[in-house]
Each structure stands twice: as C-alpha cells, then as structure tokens.
Amino acid sequence: MPGILGKKIGMTRVVNEDGTMIPVTIIECAPNIITQVKTEEKDGYNAIVLGCYALKNPTKNRRFRHLGEFKCENTEGYEKENNIDVNVLSDIKTVTIMSTSKGKGFQGVIKRHNFSRGPESHGSRHHRQPGSIGACAMPGRVIKGKKMAGRMGSDRTTLKNIPVVLVDAAKNLVAVKGPIPGSISTIVKLTIE
C-alpha cells in the first residue's frame, strides 16, 4: 500500500521503554476508500486515488471531503471501493508526510524573509522597510524573484523519513515523531517510502 490520508489531531508525548520522552504528533487516519485505480494503459501512469471523510450530503460527482492520489509501481490487488485502514502502517518504520503549513497572512520582509531591521535611533526613517529593490536605468526593472513583503504560509510542505512511533488500530490513530506542519484538523498525506 503506498500510503493513507489522515487528519492532524495535536501533539503529545510518548514514554519510551528506557524512560525517555518522545514528542509525537497524533494523526487520525479514518478508513480510506479507493475511489479510482489509474493504470499505465489508460492514464499513462499507475496510481490509486483515496477518499476520506464522507460528506453528509454526497452528490453524483463528490462523495468525500478530501481526495489524495498515491503513485505506485503496480496496481494489482487494488479494486475500487476497497477500504484502506491504519493497519497499513503497522510494520512501517518511516513515512513521508505532506501537509499545508499555517497561514500567516500578509507579512513584511523581516518576518517573511528574515531581513535585518534598520536603525531605531533618532533621525532614522527606515525601521522595518526592505531597502533598495534594484538599480535605476539599468536594468530599469525589478528582477523576478526579489524578496519582498507578501502573503506568508499556507504552503504545501513535505517532511521525509519521519519515524512512526505508535499505531493504534482500535482508535485509527498514528503517532509520528516530532511536529508536522499545519494547524489542528489539517489533512495530512502519509506516504510509505
């Protein structure tokens, strides 16, 4: 199985056998349902599409609140409408986690790009301003990619080689080591490496 979709619940700690405490993030992985099986002959690549958290009022084209596609080398054994539960992670050591980071709104260059601020003493007028953004007549424009103020956060973030600490099949919970991006209830994509 290439992976599973889940929802971030929060953080806690797990006490190891030797007494050390491990900070973990709890992810709820409700049973996923295979909504589509993509094959190389039909779609050009092999993948399965999972849906999680069924809608209360489903429509013809939308049955699940979230969908996630997982590429795989072989799609044999996967059939539409099959259930995928948290047991697929029971023997897995590490996973790749993809989620959306917290949005922080429109931020200046000091918070967004870690610029140094200007002098705060008497007479200075540029405390938190970005400074020069380029030359005058040559090139006569602002270079693309110039670090400026703008919207910060809400980016898709990937973490690799995250250890799986605990799998609770009865409660559909997975505990992974350390923090993961996003706020509580953020949808998380766990891919088996």
Domain ranges (residues) in the chain: 3-102+156-192, 110-119+126-153
Within 10 angstroms of residue 159's Cβ, the number of other Cβ atoms is 16
| pLDDT value at residue 74 | 87
- Whether 115 contacts 109, CB under 8 Å: yes
Tens digit of pLDDT for each residue in 18-52? 999 999 999 999 999 999 999 999 999 999 999 99
E runs forming strands in 18-171 = 21-28, 32-38, 47-54, 64-71, 83-84, 94-100, 103-107, 150-153, 156-168
Coil vs helix vs strand at 162: strand
Is residue 5 over pLDDT 80? yes
Confidence label for 75 from pLDDT (cuts 50, 70 and 90): confident
| pLDDT value at residue 140 | 93
Beta bridge partners of 54: 64
Q: Which amino acid is at 148?
A: M
Q: What's the rounded mean pLDDT across residues 185-190?
A: 95
| pLDDT value at residue 76 | 87
Coil vs helix vs strand at 89: helix
Q: Encoding tokens for residue 179?
A: 């923090």
Within 10 angstroms of residue 169's Cβ, the number of other Cβ atoms is 13
Coil vs helix vs strand at 134: coil
| pLDDT value at residue 62 | 86
- φ, ψ (nearest 5 deg) of residue 170: -65, -35
Q: What's the rounded mean pLDDT across residues 112-133?
A: 94
Q: Angle at the Cα of 78 (from 3 to 90), degrees rounded to 5?
A: 40
Tens digit of pLDDT for each residue in 145-160? 999 999 999 999 999 9
Classify domain 3-102+156-192 at the CATH class level: mainly beta
Q: What's the rounded mean pLDDT across residues 80-100?
A: 92
| pLDDT value at residue 106 | 98
pTM for this structure? 0.86
Q: What's the rounded mean pLDDT across residues 122-141?
A: 93
Residue % of the chain over a pLDDT of 90: 81
Beta bridge partners of 23: 13
Of the candidates 180, 177, 179, the residue with the CA atom closest to the CA atom of residue 166: 177
Most trustworthy range by pLDDT among 35-44, 88-97, 104-113, 124-133: 104-113
Is residue 166 over pLDDT 80? yes
